[in-house]
Amino acid sequence: MKHLKSLREYIDVLKEIGEVQEIDQEVDWNLEIGAITRRSYDLKAPAPLFNNIKGIEKGFRVLGAPGGVSRQPGLYLSRIAISLGLDPYASGQEIIEKLAQARLKTLIPPKLVQTGSCKENILLGNQVDLLRFPAPIIHAGDGGRYINTIGTIVAQTPDKKWTNWSIARMMILDKNRMAGIVAPAQHLGKIHAMWKELDKPMPFALALGVEPAIPFVSGMPVPDFVDESGFIGAYLDEALEVVRCETVDLEVPATAEIVIEGLLSHTETAPEGPMGEYAGYIWQGLSSNKPVYHVSAITYRNDPILPVVVAGEPVEEDHTAWGLPAAAEVLHELRQHNLPVTMCYTPLETAVHWLVVTMDMEWREKTNLNADQLIQEIGKIIFKSHVGYGIPKVLVMENDIDPTNTAEVVWAFATRCHPGTGEVHFPMESMLNLPVFLRTDEKKVFMSTKAIYNCLSQDSWTSEHRPRRTSFREGWPKEIQERVLNNWHAYGYQ
Ligand SMILES: Cc1cc2nc3c(=O)[nH]c(=O)nc-3n(C[C@H](O)[C@H](O)[C@H](O)COP(=O)(O)O)c2cc1C
Ligand SMILES: [Mn+2]
């Protein structure tokens, strides 16, 4: 495990493997940064580091696509793996397994240090000016400049017992106000509600450009009352370093590029959005009222780097830094319920709309359940858990399928799921209100029907007659496979 302690250390490692493209040509925060970053996702090209931004002080920079995927052979998930301290060549299954295993460890709370690089510049009171930072208008039609697309929001319960770190977007309203999504079932929404109950605004700190593991855990839906900061410590086997904020009683990662502090209003809202979203769409022309963040201080490193995610069609960081950690959380939860689950994965192409669960081939013997019972059990566990909030469709299959191989998953779903009885509905479940399949009435109440697609072998199949795969590996005897492999070039193939 390699603990990278700042965004800059992370960028240096990415440079070593050719995953950063420095751009010295002047670019515009108005749409151009968004379009370049979008195209870099499409081409799986290196992450753009914008060094020269029109109308912005020299030295202020933007890093696009910090957790995008790569076209380099074997390095598809390298930004995710490196962020999480793993070998750049780590597979999707290894990444998920590491995160899930760490959920069994004792939390290691962060360590308070006197100061850190995030304090190199301090803006208080009238000096506060969000507009100095290169927050972009990302997509055509966005409602404003988005300063937070992958920053960590620190929020604490009034009794100080639970400190939550999470990601939710924020748009600039003016030099010292922002508005953003505070969804009721997210921990930010739950903690905001506790402060509202006391008729008080909620102190917050937004840490932008933090050490690279932090966004992956801020995007991970661990249960209520679990401090993400302590989980990261457990994951890395080492406490994170944090420093005290200037104007609120909170702590933030010491090497953050930019820290924005203040109060999230319990009464005031302002129009926010629309913005291109993780599902791959923008709700054209639709803004809605969101709680207002009042900023009392900004601190930042010299020559700060603002990380920017261009949410939209897969693959971007919503899919890698929310979807993959969410899959790890589901794997952990299903195992806690003693189900013989081998892996969980949110195929990146599905924009966190599908979660695949693979079962040990012997699951019937190990659980004494039939397929219908297993599906009900899995539905109850996932959809009632905090992580289940954002997951609308679950595919359950046996582990002859590699859930990180989307072609295999699609084939298994197409061929194994019964068009009638294979689709099992779970009505009126709590649901993030962003997917475009939701009806207006469902969006209003953050509720939807969810489904599990049963792609398991059928209960009635006997071991002699169950359909066997016809792949090269399963469809021919070992000696024939070996003969073919050994003679491959002799047949004339290059
Ligand atoms: C890049 C990125 C952007 C995200 N944006 C939002 C958002 O705008 N609103 C939201 O509710 N969740 C968003 N999420 C998902 C949440 O961060 C995720 O559900 C997380 O578990 C929330 O934290 P919590 O479990 O402490 O509530 C985003 C995740 C990532 C990685
Ligand atoms: Mn949380």
Do residues 266 and 357 share a domain?
A: no
Do residues 158 and 43 share a domain?
A: yes
Do residues 132 and 281 share a domain?
A: yes
Task: Kindly state whether residue 200 falls inside one of the protein's structural domains.
Answer: yes
Task: Kindly state whether residue 102 falls inside one of the protein's structural domains.
Answer: yes
- 282 touches 246 (CB < 8 A): no
Task: Kindly state whether residue 89 falls inside one of the protein's structural domains.
Answer: yes
DSSP 8-class letter at 411: H
**3-state SS of the chain: helix, strand, coil percent to 5?**
30, 25, 45
Task: Kindly state whether residue 442 falls inside one of the protein's structural domains.
Answer: yes
- 262 touches 298 (CB < 8 A): no
Ligand 1 center from residue 93 Cα (angstroms): 22
Do residues 261 and 368 share a domain?
A: no
Which of 277, 317, 329, 333 does the annotation list as catalytic? 277
Do residues 204 and 92 share a domain?
A: yes
Catalytic site includes residue 26: no
The domain of 377 spans 337-455
Residue of 190, 214, 222, 322 best suited for mutating to test ligand 1, as the one with most atoms within 8 Å of CB:
322
- CB of 148 within 6 A of ligand 1: the answer is no
Task: Kindly state whether residue 34 falls inside one of the protein's structural domains.
Answer: yes
Taking the CB of residue 119, how many other CB atoms lie within 10 A of it?
18
Q: Mean pLDDT for each 10-residue chunk of the chain (494 residues)? A: 97 98 98 98 98 98 98 98 98 98 98 98 98 98 98 99 98 98 97 98 99 98 98 98 98 99 98 98 96 98 98 98 98 98 98 98 97 98 97 98 98 98 97 94 95 97 91 96 98 96
The pTM of the full predicted model, rounded to 2 decimals, is 0.98
The Cα–Cα gap between 272 and 359 comes to 42
Task: Kindly state whether residue 241 falls inside one of the protein's structural domains.
Answer: yes
pLDDT given for residue 465 in this prediction: 87
Among 292, 308, 324, the domain-final residue is: 308
- 41 touches 315 (CB < 8 A): yes
Do residues 292 and 435 share a domain?
A: no
- CB of 51 within 6 A of ligand 1: the answer is no
Do residues 198 and 304 share a domain?
A: yes
Domains of the chain: total: 2
